Amino acid sequence: MKSYSDQLSVGRRNFLAKASGVVFSAIGLDFLVPQSGIAKAGLVKNSRAHQAYEIRRRAAQYQKDLPLAKQEINGDENLYPNRIGNYSKGLPHDAYGDVDPEAYEAMLVAIRTSRPEDFERIPLGGILKLTNPQAAFAYDLEGPDSHHVSIGVPPAFNSAQQAGEIAELYWQALLRDVPFNEYDMHPLADQAAVELSNFLETKDNKVNPSTLFRGATSGDLVGPYVSQFLWKDVPYGATPIIQKIRTASPGIDYLVDYGEWLTVQRGYVGRKNQFDPTPRYIRSGRDLSRYVQVDQLYTAFLNAGLILLGMGVPLNRGNPYRTSKNQMGFATFGAPSVLDLVARVANCALKAAWYQKWLVHRKARPEEFAGRVHHHITGARKYPLPPGILDSAAPEKVFQRYESYLLPQAYPEGCPTHPAYPAGHAVIAGACATVLKAFFDESYQIRDPVVASSDGLSLVPYRGELTVGGELDKLASNISIGRNFAGIHWRSDYTGGIELGEAVALGVLQDMRECFNEQFDGLELTKFDGTKISV
């Protein structure tokens, strides 16, 4: 059976007809509206109102007739009655950080019934509230329903992949203040690369300091670690924005004291963040994690769109105005439309993410898993940890620095109060990057590329070629993995997230394609896995 995103590449003329009264058998749908339905709606056949109704009806019918996605889980919730593999932050916990079973069951009851009053009955352990679990039940009028899209199964609690992912997070915390452009000469980065290579179970190239902590796309492996869209000035109307940020002070990590960790797990507020008084360009994991702590999730992609428009990057080859002799796009296929769409797909993607988080997976956050590691190694309690993490050098290095095996957090509050898988930032990154790739020419080489200095105070020229598509893919990875550098997400939260966001964006674009008067054969883009499609 074809995947959801594969089905979205149905040719435009094979999918819908603008004129009413045409029957297409290619996808097995009868596009004729019964006369009784037309009369009931008060529409005159072939009128503008009728045609608008038909476009909406056919798009809804198309989404309805897609095969219902099968949602598969890793089984941790059923395997471990004490819920050690599942998210529980903000609920009551015992002295070891294990959740009160009655509180967790109350959460499950609300999830099963979807009744708002049942969510109000979930007991909290402190003052922090759960983040919007009812969004998992929301609907959208464009693109696939949030319950209609599926993603891969996240790693199980005691799996080898989980061991590799928690080891990577410990190494990211240890290297949080090392500039990316110094990884090649840093002994700790070299040690991390060697160890993480041993966790790989694929035929991919071994990790080296130059590829350490990079994303999964081909664009991630070209040029500096950070995307050009996080460094270049943003032409924000008449107010150009220089992308120096207020970053956090180096060397200060949180939730490494057990008492502080337990207090935060129970839903209380941690310490306040400490800031560097000097604005800097993003040049390290700490800087990147700070950027994605206070952004509005799609901020970087709105900025990227403005940068691309300011650069005069050519339109996507499928854009009908690329070859027009006397017209240009505006409300359709123009700057206002793409900037609007970046924000529009972001919210659709977020609802899809919240469905997966709350109703399907409820996966534990890294800080919760690290609590199990801490207790297991110290002998306070035993957990069925994957053997690989006990062989990793990273937790011991963390212990030497902080006298605990807890995962050092970049944020004093640790993770937000919702489950890990998939990452909301990653889902939005996948959706927004897909929209930008559908609007602009991915092959266009970015003019005057730059790289941040090690102190983050300046940008210097980068001597290499970087493409729009590669840097948009890299931006999606940066925004996603920036949350990993903070210690609040897993690598699989990123990879599953961008896949989900991409599928949602393609679904929205599919629904919109019959809303235009312009003739076009589809917008061309490259998916994150390298597949080229037209939508």
Counting Cα atoms < 13 Å in the Cβ hemisphere of 31 gives 24
Q: What is the CA radius of gyration of the chain?
A: 24
Contact present, 170 and 404 (Cβ < 8 Å): no
Tokens 């700057």: give the residue.
Answer: 335
First-last CA distance in the chain: 19
Scanning 205-273, the segments in alpha helix (DSSP H) are: 258-265
CB–CB of 131/416 below 8 Å? Answer: yes
How far is Cα 526 from Cα 506, in angstroms, rounded to an integer? 12
Q: In this predicted structure, what is the pLDDT of residue 30?
A: 35
User: In the numeric block, which tokens belong to residue 48?
Assistant: 């503008």
Q: Can you give the pTM of this predicted structure?
A: 0.91
Return the pLDDT at 5. Answer: 45
Report the 10 Å Cβ neighbour count for 261: 24
DSSP β-bridge partners for residue 236 = 239
pLDDT at 68 over 90: no
The predicted pLDDT at position 202 comes to: 47
DSSP per residue, 265-301: HTT---PPP-B-SS-B---BHHHHHHHHHHS-SSHHH
Note the pLDDT of residue 10. Answer: 34
Judged against a pLDDT cut of 70, whether residue 152 lies above it is answered with: yes
Percent share of the chain, pLDDT over 90? 86
Q: Where are any strands of DSSP class E within 432-492?
A: 450-452, 459-461
Structure tokens at 288: 């990147």
Please return the burial class of 317, using the count of CB atoms within 10 Å of its CB with bins 0-12, 13-18 and 19+: middle
Q: Where are the domains of the chain?
A: 4-65, 77-502
In the numeric block, the tokens 């290297």 are attached to 175
**Judging by beta carbons within 10 Å of its beta carbon (0-12, 13-18, 19+), is residue 305 exposed, middle or buried?**
buried
pLDDT at 201: 56
Q: Is residue 58 helix, strand or coil?
A: helix
Q: Which residues are catalytic?
A: 418, 425
For residue 203, give the 3-state DSSP assignment: coil
Please give the residue that has the higher pLDDT: either 17 or 494: 494
Q: How many residues comprise the chain?
A: 535
Q: What is the pLDDT of residues 218-268, one digit of tens each?
A: 999 999 999 999 999 999 999 999 999 999 999 999 999 999 999 999 999
Q: Does domain 77-502 have CATH number 1.10.357.10?
A: no
Cβ 499 vs Cβ 476: under 8 Å: no
